[in-house]
């Protein structure tokens, strides 16, 4: 179904969007310092009150710096790996803990058996994912953990404030176990 890759990309882009603005902001700040130094230099030289040339240099400098940093971050893929790999082995204990957390936090939408048929499902603008569906295999553990922590706009709430990282990984292990059982 459509939720698959499309959703994963959307989410990653949302993440990038936030991080990019940080970089552009850093570029802008560096540009402002640069502008200050240059405008002092220019006004000493030519006695102009408004240094138009410096202003343009400032804007270009900020954009160039921000752009370069964004490009560098894209090349290294730094923030896509923000959550890293799943630190918790998919043991029976972890899955049992995840299952218990699922019953408390997730079944209202995803259903007792995670088939997307919880009591709230008919009221939502997007159907809750069937977590037994084949496309779940396409999502990395870190993607699922990120969705659980940050929610999926506009319907699924964020659980990052209510669950510890360990609990989130247990939930990821539970969801994974629905199709793949326990880790060898
Ligand atoms: C208020 C309803 C709601 C609750 C509560 C909820 N979800 Fe969701 N969840 C959704 C919806 C709706 C989607 C599908 C989003 C979409 O396709 O845009 C979804 C998608 C997902 C996905 C992505 C599946 C895929 O393959 O695309 C995962 C994983 C997931 N939920 C896990 C959980 C877990 C774990 C919990 C409990 C901690 C939870 N959800 C709680 C509504 C909910």
- Provide the pLDDT for residue 79: 41
pLDDT of 80 strictly over 70: no
Test site for ligand 1: of 9, 152, 157, most ligand atoms within 8 A of the Cβ: 152
Pair (115, 75) in one structural domain: no
- Provide the pLDDT for residue 8: 47
Pair (75, 146) in one structural domain: no
Pair (110, 70) in one structural domain: no
Q: How far is the CA of 136 from the centre of ligand 1 (A)?
A: 11
Pair (156, 76) in one structural domain: no
- The answer as to whether 169 is a domain residue is yes
Q: Can you tell me the mean pLDDT for 120-126?
A: 96
Structure tokens, 91: 């043991």
Number of structural domains in the chain = 2
Pair (111, 68) in one structural domain: no
- The answer as to whether 168 is a domain residue is yes
In ligand 1, which atom is closest to the CA atom of 101?
38
CA 66 to CA 20: how far, in whole Å?
A: 8
Higher pLDDT, 40 or 160: 160
CATH assignment at residue 112: 1.10.760.10
Nearest CA to ligand 1 atom 22: 129
Pair (60, 100) in one structural domain: no
Helix, strand and coil percent figures for the chain, each rounded to 5: 70, 0, 30
Pair (58, 98) in one structural domain: no
Pair (72, 100) in one structural domain: no
State how far the alpha carbon of 151 is from the alpha carbons of 145, 154, 177, in Å: 10, 8, 21
Q: How far is the CA of 159 from the centre of ligand 1 (A)?
A: 11
- The answer as to whether 86 is a domain residue is no
Pair (14, 76) in one structural domain: yes
- Provide the pLDDT for residue 90: 97
CA 179 to CA 113: how far, in whole Å?
A: 12
Backbone angles phi, psi at 156, to 5 degrees: -75, 130
In a 3-state reduction of DSSP, which class is residue 152?
strand
Pair (71, 98) in one structural domain: no
- Triad 86, 92, 95: Cα angle to 5°: 55
Number of other CB atoms surrounding residue 167 within 10 Å: 18
Pair (168, 133) in one structural domain: yes
Q: How far is the CA of 78 from the centre of ligand 1 (A)?
A: 25
The model's pLDDT over 7-53, given as tens digits with 9 standing for 90+, comes to 444 545 445 445 555 666 677 777 778 777 877 777 777 766 666 77
- The answer as to whether 132 is a domain residue is yes
> 21 is in which domain, residue-wise?
3-81
Nearest CA to ligand 1 atom 40: 106
């Amino acid at each position: 179904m459509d939720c698959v890759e499309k959703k994963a990309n959307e989410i990653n882009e949302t993440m990038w969007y936030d991080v990019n603005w940080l970089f552009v902001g850093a570029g802008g700040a560096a540009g402002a310092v640069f502008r200050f130094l240059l405008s002092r230099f220019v006004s000493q030289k030519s006695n102009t009150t408004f240094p138009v040339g410096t202003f343009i240099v400032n804007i270009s400098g900020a954009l160039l710096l921000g752009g370069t940093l964004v490009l560098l971050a894209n090349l290294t893929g730094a923030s896509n790996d923000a959550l890293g790999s799943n630190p918790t082995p998919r043991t029976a204990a972890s899955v049992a803990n995840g299952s218990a957390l699922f019953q408390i936090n997730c079944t209202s939408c995803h259903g007792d058996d995670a088939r997307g048929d919880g009591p709230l499902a008919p009221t939502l603008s997007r159907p809750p994912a069937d977590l037994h569906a084949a496309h779940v295999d396409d999502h990395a553990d870190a993607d699922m953990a990120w969705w659980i922590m940050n929610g999926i706009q506009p319907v699924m709430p964020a659980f990052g404030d209510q669950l510890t990282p360990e609990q989130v990984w247990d939930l990821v292990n539970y969801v994974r176990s629905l199709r793949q059982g326990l880790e060898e």
